[in-house]
Amino acid sequence: MPMAKKKSSKKTARRTTTKKVAKKAAKKVTKKTSRKKVVKRTASAHKKTTKKRSTKKATPSAAKRHASKKRAKKSPPKVSRKSGAASTKKKAPKKRVIAGKMIYSFGKKTEGDSTMRTLLGGKGANLAEMTSIGLPVPAGFTITTETCARYYQNKKRLPKGLMDEVAKSITSLEKQRGKKFGNENDPLLVSVRSGAAVSMPGMMDTILNLGLNDKSVKGLAAKTGNERFAYDAYRRLINMYGDVVMGVDHHHFEQAFSEIKERYLADSDTDVPAAGLKELCDVYKAIYAKHVGSRFPQDPFKQLKLAIEAVFGSWNADKAVSYRRIEGMVGLNGTAVNVQTMVFGNMGDDCGTGVAFTRNPSTGVNKFFGEFLVNAQGEDVVAGIRTPQPVSEMPAWNKAIFKRLISIKKILEDHYTDMQDIEFTIEQGELFMLQTRTGKRTGLAAVNIACDMIREKRITEKQALLRIPAGDLVQLLLPYFDPESKLQNKALTIGLPASPGASVGHPAFTADEAVERASKGEQVILVRKETSPEDVDGMHSAVGILTSTGGMTSHAAVVARGWGKCCVAGAGAVEINESVGIFRINGKSFGRGDLISIDGSTGEIFAGSTPRIEPDGITGNFAKIMKLADKHATMGVRTNADTPSDAHRAREFGAKGIGLTRTEHMFFEGERITTMREMILAENLDDRETALAKLLPFQREDFAGIFTAMHGLPVTVRLLDPPLHEFLPHEPDAIKKVADNLGVSVEAVQRRVSALHEANPMMGHRGCRLAITYPEILSMQVRAIVEAAIECANNKIKAIPEIMIPLVGIETELAVLRKQAEEVIAAVKKEKNFKKKLDIKIGTMIEIPRAALTADEIAEHADFFSFGTNDLTQLTFGYSRDDINTFLPDYLTRDILPEDPFQSLDQTGVGQLVEMGFNKGRSAKPGLKIGICGEHGGDPKSVHYCHRVGLNYVSCSPFRVPIARLAAAQAAIMDG
934 contact, one of ligand PEP, Mg ion, none, CB 5-8 Å limit per kind: ligand PEP
Asked if 870 and 881 touch (Cβ cutoff 8 Å), the reply is: yes
Q: What distance in Å separates the CA atoms of residue 272 and residue 158, rounded to the nearest whole number? A: 39
Least distance in Å: CB of 531 to ligand PEP?
Answer: 37
Q: What distance in Å separates the CA atoms of residue 192 and residue 141, rounded to the nearest whole number? A: 10
Cβ-based neighbour number of residue 455 at 10 Å: 9
User: 284 or 867: whose CB is closer to ligand PEP?
Assistant: 867
489 contact, one of ligand PEP, Mg ion, none, CB 5-8 Å limit per kind: none
696 φ, ψ to 5°? Answer: -50, -50
C-alpha to C-alpha distances, 924 to 51, 282, 775, 861, nearest whole angstrom: 20, 81, 28, 10
According to CB under 6 A, which residues from 710 to 729 bind ligand PEP? 721
User: 791 or 847: whose CB is closer to ligand PEP?
Assistant: 847
What is the distance, to the nearest Å, from the Cα of residue 412 to the centroid of all Cα atoms in its chain? 27
Least distance in Å: CB of 788 to ligand PEP?
Answer: 21
352 contact, one of Mg ion, ligand PEP, none, CB 5-8 Å limit per kind: none
Told to check if 23 binds ligand PEP by CB under 6 A, we report no
Q: What distance in Å separates the CA atoms of residue 868 and residue 931, rounded to the nearest whole number? A: 9
CA angle in degrees (0–180, nearest 5) for 711-717-719: 160
Question: Applying CB under 6 A, which part among 355-363, 535-543, 644-652, 867-875 lies near ligand PEP?
Answer: 867-875
Taking the CA atoms of 176, 180, 182 and 188 in sequence, report the sign of the dihedral they define: negative
Told to check if 842 binds ligand PEP by CB under 6 A, we report no
869 contact, one of ligand PEP, Mg ion, none, CB 5-8 Å limit per kind: ligand PEP
Instruction: Figure out which of the listed residues 243, 847, 900, 915 binds ligand PEP, where binding follows CB under 6 A.
Output: 847
User: 227 or 642: whose CB is closer to ligand PEP?
Assistant: 642
Told to check if 475 binds ligand PEP by CB under 6 A, we report no
Number of H helices, E strands in the chain: 36, 33
Strand partners, 697: none
Interface contacts to Mg ion, rule CB under 5 A: 847, 868, 871
CB within 8 Å of 545: residues ≥ 6 apart: 498, 499, 525, 526, 528, 531, 539, 556, 560, 565, 566, 567, 568, 569
User: Which own/partner pairs from 898-901 qualify as long-range (CB within 8 Å, at least 24 positions apart)?
Assistant: 898/328, 898/330, 899/328, 900/21, 900/24, 900/25, 901/873, 901/877
Least distance in Å: CB of 705 to Mg ion?
Answer: 24
Least distance in Å: CB of 160 to ligand PEP?
Answer: 53
Least distance in Å: CB of 970 to ligand PEP?
Answer: 23
Told to check if 937 binds ligand PEP by CB under 6 A, we report no
C-alpha to C-alpha distances, 916 to 66, 327, 856, 903, nearest whole angstrom: 12, 30, 9, 21
Told to check if 17 binds ligand PEP by CB under 6 A, we report no
User: 754 or 760: whose CB is closer to ligand PEP?
Assistant: 760
Told to check if 30 binds ligand PEP by CB under 6 A, we report no
Told to check if 660 binds ligand PEP by CB under 6 A, we report yes
Instruction: Figure out which of the listed residues 121, 500, 917, 934 binds ligand PEP, where binding follows CB under 6 A.
Output: 934
Q: What distance in Å separates the CA atoms of residue 129 and residue 407, rounded to the nearest whole number? A: 17
Instruction: Figure out which of the listed residues 232, 421, 535, 871 binds ligand PEP, where binding follows CB under 6 A.
Output: 871
Question: Applying CB under 6 A, which part among 31-39, 229-237, 869-877, 915-923 lies near ligand PEP?
Answer: 869-877
- Size of residue set near ligand PEP by CB under 6 A: 12
Cβ-based neighbour number of residue 21 at 10 Å: 22
Instruction: Figure out which of the listed residues 13, 15, 673, 848 binds ligand PEP, where binding follows CB under 6 A.
Output: 15
Q: What distance in Å separates the CA atoms of residue 440 and residue 765, rounded to the nearest whole number? A: 50
Told to check if 869 binds ligand PEP by CB under 6 A, we report yes
Question: Applying CB under 6 A, which part among 124-132, 345-353, 751-759, 864-872 lies near ligand PEP?
Answer: 864-872
210 φ, ψ to 5°? Answer: -65, 140
Instruction: Figure out which of the listed residues 501, 615, 868, 917 binds ligand PEP, where binding follows CB under 6 A.
Output: 868
933 contact, one of ligand PEP, Mg ion, none, CB 5-8 Å limit per kind: ligand PEP
Told to check if 920 binds ligand PEP by CB under 6 A, we report no
User: 229 or 953: whose CB is closer to Mg ion?
Assistant: 953
What is the distance, to the nearest Å, from the Cα of residue 932 to the centroid of all Cα atoms in its chain? 22
Least distance in Å: CB of 549 to ligand PEP?
Answer: 46
Q: What is the DSSP string of 467-506?
A: HS-GGGGGGGG--EE-HHHHHHS--SEE-EEEE--EEEEE
Least distance in Å: CB of 809 to Mg ion?
Answer: 12
409 contact, one of ligand PEP, Mg ion, none, CB 5-8 Å limit per kind: none
Q: What distance in Å separates the CA atoms of residue 956 and residue 33, rounded to the nearest whole number? A: 14
User: 449 or 803: whose CB is closer to ligand PEP?
Assistant: 803
What is the distance, to the nearest Å, from the Cα of residue 612 to the centroid of all Cα atoms in its chain? 23
Instruction: Figure out which of the listed residues 661, 779, 870, 903 binds ligand PEP, where binding follows CB under 6 A.
Output: 870
Asked if 639 and 955 touch (Cβ cutoff 8 Å), the reply is: yes
Give the three-state DSSP class for 20.
coil
Q: What stretch of H or E contains 172? A: helix 162-177
Instruction: Figure out which of the listed residues 2, 12, 13, 16 binds ligand PEP, where binding follows CB under 6 A.
Output: 16
630 contact, one of Mg ion, ligand PEP, none, CB 5-8 Å limit per kind: none
Strand partners, 842: 803
Told to check if 766 binds ligand PEP by CB under 6 A, we report no
User: 389 or 870: whose CB is closer to ligand PEP?
Assistant: 870
940 contact, one of Mg ion, ligand PEP, none, CB 5-8 Å limit per kind: none
The burial class, CB within 10 Å (0-12 / 13-18 / 19+), for 483 is exposed
Q: What distance in Å separates the CA atoms of residue 622 and residue 628, rounded to the nearest whole number? A: 10
965 contact, one of Mg ion, ligand PEP, none, CB 5-8 Å limit per kind: none
Told to check if 767 binds ligand PEP by CB under 6 A, we report no
Question: Applying CB under 6 A, which part among 64-72, 428-436, 564-572, 862-870 lies near ligand PEP?
Answer: 862-870
User: 68 or 869: whose CB is closer to ligand PEP?
Assistant: 869
Give the three-state DSSP class for 287.
helix
User: 695 or 851: whose CB is closer to ligand PEP?
Assistant: 851
**In this structure, what is the dihedral angle of CA atoms 858, 860, 866, 869, given to the nearest 10 degrees?**
20
Instruction: Figure out which of the listed residues 252, 662, 861, 941 binds ligand PEP, where binding follows CB under 6 A.
Output: 662
554 contact, one of Mg ion, ligand PEP, none, CB 5-8 Å limit per kind: none
Strand pairing of 574-577 and 582-585? antiparallel
User: 785 or 805: whose CB is closer to Mg ion?
Assistant: 805
Least distance in Å: CB of 104 to ligand PEP?
Answer: 48
Instruction: Figure out which of the listed residues 162, 724, 933, 971 binds ligand PEP, where binding follows CB under 6 A.
Output: 933
Told to check if 651 binds ligand PEP by CB under 6 A, we report no
Told to check if 538 binds ligand PEP by CB under 6 A, we report no
Least distance in Å: CB of 848 to Mg ion?
Answer: 9
Give the three-state DSSP class for 160.
coil
Name the residues annotated as catalytic. 555, 933
Q: What distance in Å separates the CA atoms of residue 691 and residue 694, rounded to the nearest whole number? A: 5
Asked if 310 and 210 touch (Cβ cutoff 8 Å), the reply is: no
907 contact, one of ligand PEP, Mg ion, none, CB 5-8 Å limit per kind: none
Told to check if 957 binds ligand PEP by CB under 6 A, we report no
Least distance in Å: CB of 565 to Mg ion?
Answer: 31
DSSP state at residue 423: E
User: Which own/partner pairs from 520-526 qualify as long-range (CB within 8 Å, at least 24 positions apart)?
Assistant: 525/596, 525/598
CB within 8 Å of 779: residues ≥ 6 apart: 692, 820, 824
Q: Which residues bind ligand PEP (CB under 6 A)?
A: 15-16, 660, 662, 721, 847, 868-871, 933-934
